[in-house]
Chains A and B, each alone.
Chain A
């Protein structure tokens, strides 16, 4: 298909504290008992696109990710893992790897995307429209209003994107990324004149999967060093300048060669510094691919999202993404795991290989990783337990995330907690709503 894919896999994300550590960067966090990055890579693989550049911030993290990728995707994909400096924003990271891009168009995917929208469909829509950029949008399950009501503290407060589409829902006309805190938002009247009708929607979520026209985006990135973020700078810039002038003369289905020529011409003009708006005259449009409602799409960009996605992956919404076979009880229990007398694992749960449960345990709506040793009378509800965790008798874990190698001593109670890797929770501790992490040894 002559597409390349850039996966922005992040590094030691601050929002995921205390889950990530030097050994486990965000890309390798287990989600549904599989590393997060594997979902994106398999999604891309399913669309028969083989050239992938994984951009990881931080060299150590890049090394970790690189090791895992070579092991897991050896002979399957041509993956190049590229480490960039840690404090780069998305567009800056893209700029850093832009010399590696050779295909006509490329996709940029956020590494924390878990979805089953065929990437190929997005790429095809992009080609069909001859678009400058194609963004994958998916309908938000709830209105922005109810989202704020749920009091989601880890997400950005009450911001939602305002997205303008044309009447056929194919062209992206307007983007306001919710950065502006102002009550009003403004729509250029010339834009409205050009399109006649515009649908402004707030129920669409940007999935952070974009297809870009390479030449143009490389040109923009080069000529505009001020652009930092793809979502907040690059895409709004492209959207704003697409219909800047001569809208009536834009052609949708112009042949590819014309377009490339067009683009070349523009970049020449850009190089001479004469044309401030390379995009305006190109006749290229920004388009969208709107995922249908029955597709699953979610990003692991906060602790809450991490819990939610894990639950979704164990549940009926997204179990197909993991590739596990579901038992008759609607759960996934690895055959090598052992369960003691009267222990129950409810529906929509996962239990990894080699994990053992003691007597009278109960696991509900939770994901338990590999080789965990769980004592007797333990209750795990609505939680994620990673690998090699020891939970002693009588403990209760509710709504919490327990990282690898954690030891919960007997009768400890955790509610709404995140426990970093290797932490030891003392016996009979009752902890609510805290993030626990081992102190880094210097």
Chain B
């Protein structure tokens, strides 16, 4: 199977010292293929009727790798037995060794285990077992090794390929999120690696997670005049690593994921100075089957022969006869029986011993081995694995149907459905779009973070292993499908709403934020309505964005806009002050008045504000506090306000350094009465009096305020009129007032 080309001899120079090694991670440490992966590891899922891991091994062998370490964790026994049965274990120039571990939850753990075993001696190729590629490693290895000779810190070379993400959904063809890479165009050094959409934050709201701007540090220009920023490169997840990479994983025991932790960690770590470089391929194929959309896309690529020589007619050497390629990319294996009236459309693969009934039409689909397809069936864009029975008048669109499943007469599968192993869909039942149905009930534990998700996968995978679904598969494959029906008869009470009257299986509920994932990562194409919806949201967002940009343009465009920005800042400042105050007011432990004063003073400096601003903001905060308590009548509100001010008035006074500041407080109060809290309006004069009584505002400030208002519009004078009496009193009795004060002192 493995073809060793002339490359081996070319590489003879360094092979003298170290044979080319590869580490293949046969565990995705992710959950995207659930529920299927509960019963079978992802690497063994058939991709155009060949287990994914075989594509990877085939490629590694043909690319000149001599030693391959297959690391398995979840469902390790299944992978081991698959490999033992396969010809890989007995190749002359290609040795496959299996490393098993059961307590790994991430790629990081896996690499740490491999480091402990001490099997890796030189530069190695790090891939995941779901990689489909036909690229030659010669060139990238040469580049990597030459770089290493000059610079010991160049620890890794990452393979990238151009792939422009959709401007609407921000995801690539393979369903990956768009990736922001910054590369030095001369040296190809990777400077920045960022998935624009963080996998952790799956907001259901469109546009929320989309960053408006990419912020970059100017310091990157210290060493180089030019950098290249791109979001049209796709990470192929093929890495050429130096042995140091393993050590780095051991040193940084918190590194879990290869990309999110290791690559980002390395790039942000300036002390060690390790560097990552990129290698761009253009004519060769490399893709990782990361999610169901990628599964569909890569399948079609294989059928279209982009991955040559990894194509069905070369790889699928069935026991009877090999696969035949016919016109329009139709592949047929031996023993296929088609009714005369069956229509097989283009880009379709039919596995061994599959029968198709009258008037059925199959398009752009992959049908596995030993499937029975009834009459008048419509299959479009589906992936149907082995031993599936599809009865008459069934319609399947863009679905994945696993081994041994049965779809009974007249059932309809809407796009995006996943039927796991041995599920039965009752007759005339319509399975809603994006449903996932499995014989294994959905695990109930709530997973909060990604790490836990991974862990859960592994844990449940292990839990499943004793039951060994793989062997069960074998039995069902060899035996009759009726066994399944027996299952359903004996089986627990399946919910007919989930799988139809005579169906069997649990429908998995969608987790939080799952809806988003469904259409993004399903095998089904994104429905046009959804695209329209996104387009509408985007254009709205764009307009906003451009507006924002223009405003951000130094604020020089127009005065009006400048004010806008000021206001925003003002809001921030007020919010901060209010929060600071409330911390004290709510009695958060240890926060005292003095602390508030210090904090607000620092805010004042930070926002470049005056004492008047502080006083205004503080006043607002106090008023808000007063409003918090229930106040059915104006009278009660007044008394509450009095209470609050008697407690916090002294704090406010700390920011009143002169009558100007007091003046500002009055203006703020007026604003509150007019705009935000009209309930204060009738109480204006009372509150004013109270503020005067507790020495928050002085007589001078009030009189200054009154005289300023004298010439204002009539509408502005409402409060002045209301408090006319009080002001009159102030003006008339200044002497008295002074005496009072003297008395006090």
Where the two chains meet, the residues of A that have a C-beta atom closer than 8 Å to any C-beta of B are: 140, 143-145, 160, 162, 164, 179, 182-190, 192-194, 196-203, 224-228, 232-233, 236-237, 240-241, 244-245, 247-248, 276-277, 280
Chain B residues near A226: list those with CB within 8 A. 556-559
Where the two chains meet, the residues of B that have a C-beta atom closer than 8 Å to any C-beta of A are: 164-165, 167, 170, 178, 180, 185, 196, 210-219, 221-222, 225-233, 539, 542-543, 545-547, 549-550, 553-554, 556-559
Q: How far is the CA of A179 from the CA of B553 in the complex (A)?
A: 11
Q: Are A232 and B215 in contact (CB under 8 A)?
A: no
Q: Are B558 and A189 in contact (CB under 8 A)?
A: no
Q: How far is the CA of A276 from the CA of B178 in the complex (A)?
A: 30
Q: How far is the CA of A419 from the CA of B451 in the complex (A)?
A: 72
Q: How far is the CA of A65 from the CA of B546 in the complex (A)?
A: 43
Task: Identify 4 new A-B residue pairs, CB closer than 8 A, beyond the known A143-B225, A202-B226, A277-B546.
Answer: A164-B229, A183-B217, A201-B227, A227-B557
Q: Are B230 and A198 in contact (CB under 8 A)?
A: yes
A-B CB contact pairs (8 Å), 9 listed: A162-B218, A188-B545, A189-B180, A202-B225, A226-B556, A237-B557, A244-B542, A245-B546, A247-B167
Q: Are A224 and B557 in contact (CB under 8 A)?
A: yes
Closest to B230 in A: A197
Q: Are A192 and B180 in contact (CB under 8 A)?
A: yes
- Contacts known (A193-B165, A280-B546); A187 close to B227, Cβ less than 8 A: no
Q: Are A240 and B167 in contact (CB under 8 A)?
A: no
- Contacts known (A145-B222, A193-B165, A245-B539); A185 close to B215, Cβ less than 8 A: yes
Q: How far is the CA of A101 from the CA of B218 in the complex (A)?
A: 39
Would you give the shortest CB distance from A92 to chain B, in whole angstroms? 12
Chain A residues near B221: list those with CB within 8 A. 144, 160, 162, 202
Nearest 7 interchain pairs by C-beta: A196-B232, A203-B225, A186-B213, A197-B230, A244-B546, A201-B226, A187-B214
**Which of A187, A198, A245 interacts with B213 by CB under 8 Å?**
A187
- Contacts known (A192-B231, A196-B164); A240 close to B213, Cβ less than 8 A: no
Would you give the shortest CB distance from A127 to chain B, in whole angstroms? 27
Q: Are B225 and A276 in contact (CB under 8 A)?
A: no
Q: Are A203 and B546 in contact (CB under 8 A)?
A: no
Which among A196, A201, A245, A276 has the greatest number of chain B C-beta atoms within 10 A? A196
**Which of A188, A196, A244 interacts with B230 by CB under 8 Å?**
A196
Chain A residues near B550: list those with CB within 8 A. 237, 240-241, 276-277
- Contacts known (A193-B178, A198-B230, A199-B228); A185 close to B554, Cβ less than 8 A: no
Q: How far is the CA of A192 from the CA of B211 in the complex (A)?
A: 12
Q: Are A185 and B218 in contact (CB under 8 A)?
A: yes
Q: Are B219 and A183 in contact (CB under 8 A)?
A: yes
Q: How far is the CA of A140 from the CA of B221 in the complex (A)?
A: 14
Chain A residues near B228: list those with CB within 8 A. 197-200
Chain A residues near B210: list those with CB within 8 A. 189
Q: Are B215 and A144 in contact (CB under 8 A)?
A: no
Which among B170, B210, B233, B556 has the greatest number of chain A C-beta atoms within 10 A? B556
Q: How far is the CA of A199 from the CA of B559 in the complex (A)?
A: 34
- Contacts known (A184-B217, A187-B214, A189-B212); A144 close to B225, Cβ less than 8 A: yes
Closest to A228 in B: B556
Chain A residues near B558: list those with CB within 8 A. 224-226
Q: How far is the CA of A198 from the CA of B556 in the complex (A)?
A: 27
Chain B residues near A232: list those with CB within 8 A. 554, 556
Chain A residues near B545: list those with CB within 8 A. 188, 190
Chain A residues near B547: list those with CB within 8 A. 276
Q: Are B218 and A183 in contact (CB under 8 A)?
A: yes
Closest to A280 in B: B546
Q: How far is the CA of A186 from the CA of B215 in the complex (A)?
A: 4
Closest to B225 in A: A203
Closest to A188 in B: B213
Q: Are A233 and B214 in contact (CB under 8 A)?
A: no
Closest to B548 in A: A188
Q: At the interface, is chain B mostly helix, strand, loop or mixed? A: mixed
Q: How far is the CA of A160 from the CA of B229 in the complex (A)?
A: 19
Chain B residues near A164: list those with CB within 8 A. 229
Q: Are B549 and A245 in contact (CB under 8 A)?
A: no
Q: Are A192 and B554 in contact (CB under 8 A)?
A: no
Q: How far is the CA of A92 from the CA of B543 in the complex (A)?
A: 28
Q: Are B231 and A188 in contact (CB under 8 A)?
A: no
Q: Are A241 and B554 in contact (CB under 8 A)?
A: no
Q: How far is the CA of A247 from the CA of B542 in the complex (A)?
A: 11
**Which of A143, A225, A237 interacts with B553 by CB under 8 Å?**
A237
Q: How far is the CA of A185 from the CA of B556 in the complex (A)?
A: 18
Q: Are B170 and A193 in contact (CB under 8 A)?
A: yes
Chain A residues near B225: list those with CB within 8 A. 140, 143-144, 201-203
Q: Are A199 and B185 in contact (CB under 8 A)?
A: yes
Q: How far is the CA of A202 from the CA of B184 in the complex (A)?
A: 13
Would you give the shortest CB distance from B302 to chain A, in whole angstroms? 26
Q: Are A188 and B549 in contact (CB under 8 A)?
A: yes
Chain A residues near B227: list those with CB within 8 A. 199-201
Q: Are A227 and B556 in contact (CB under 8 A)?
A: yes
Would you give the shortest CB distance from A101 to chain B, in whole angstroms? 22
Q: How far is the CA of A236 from the CA of B556 in the complex (A)?
A: 12
Q: Are B226 and A200 in contact (CB under 8 A)?
A: yes
Q: Are A197 and B546 in contact (CB under 8 A)?
A: no
Would you give the shortest CB distance from B488 to chain A, in whole angstroms? 49
Which among B214, B228, B554 has the greatest number of chain A C-beta atoms within 10 A? B554
Q: How far is the CA of A36 from the CA of B508 in the complex (A)?
A: 79
Q: How far is the CA of A317 from the CA of B542 in the complex (A)?
A: 48
Chain A residues near B165: list those with CB within 8 A. 193
Q: How far is the CA of A197 from the CA of B214 in the complex (A)?
A: 13
Chain B residues near A245: list those with CB within 8 A. 539, 542-543, 546
Q: How far is the CA of A189 from the CA of B546 in the complex (A)?
A: 11
Chain B residues near A184: list those with CB within 8 A. 215-218
Would you give the shortest CB distance from B322 to chain A, in whole angstroms? 41
Would you give the shortest CB distance from A66 to chain B, in whole angstroms? 32
Q: Are B226 and A192 in contact (CB under 8 A)?
A: no
- Contacts known (A192-B214, A193-B165, A233-B556); A187 close to B229, Cβ less than 8 A: yes
Chain A residues near B196: list those with CB within 8 A. 189
Would you give the shortest CB distance from B603 to chain A, in whole angstroms? 21
Would you give the shortest CB distance from B207 to chain A, in whole angstroms? 11
- Contacts known (A192-B229, A199-B228); A233 close to B218, Cβ less than 8 A: no
Closest to B164 in A: A196
Q: Are A197 and B553 in contact (CB under 8 A)?
A: no
Would you give the shortest CB distance from B168 to chain A, in whole angstroms? 10
Q: How far is the CA of A247 from the CA of B178 in the complex (A)?
A: 18
Q: How far is the CA of A245 from the CA of B550 in the complex (A)?
A: 13
**Which of B167, B232, B539, B542 interacts with A248 by CB under 8 Å?**
B167
Chain B residues near A280: list those with CB within 8 A. 546
Would you give the shortest CB distance from B422 to chain A, in whole angstroms? 43
Closest to B555 in A: A226
Chain A residues near B554: list those with CB within 8 A. 179, 232-233
Would you give the shortest CB distance from B234 to chain A, in whole angstroms? 11
Q: Are A188 and B212 in contact (CB under 8 A)?
A: yes
Q: How far is the CA of A224 from the CA of B556 in the complex (A)?
A: 10
Q: How far is the CA of A280 from the CA of B547 in the complex (A)?
A: 11
Q: How far is the CA of A189 from the CA of B228 in the complex (A)?
A: 14
Chain B residues near A199: list those with CB within 8 A. 185, 226-229
Chain B residues near A160: list those with CB within 8 A. 221
Chain B residues near A203: list those with CB within 8 A. 225-226
Would you give the shortest CB distance from A172 to chain B, in whole angstroms? 15
Q: How far is the CA of A140 from the CA of B542 in the complex (A)?
A: 35
Q: Are A196 and B213 in contact (CB under 8 A)?
A: no
Q: How far is the CA of A247 from the CA of B550 in the complex (A)?
A: 17
Q: Are B553 and A236 in contact (CB under 8 A)?
A: yes
Chain B residues near A182: list those with CB within 8 A. 218
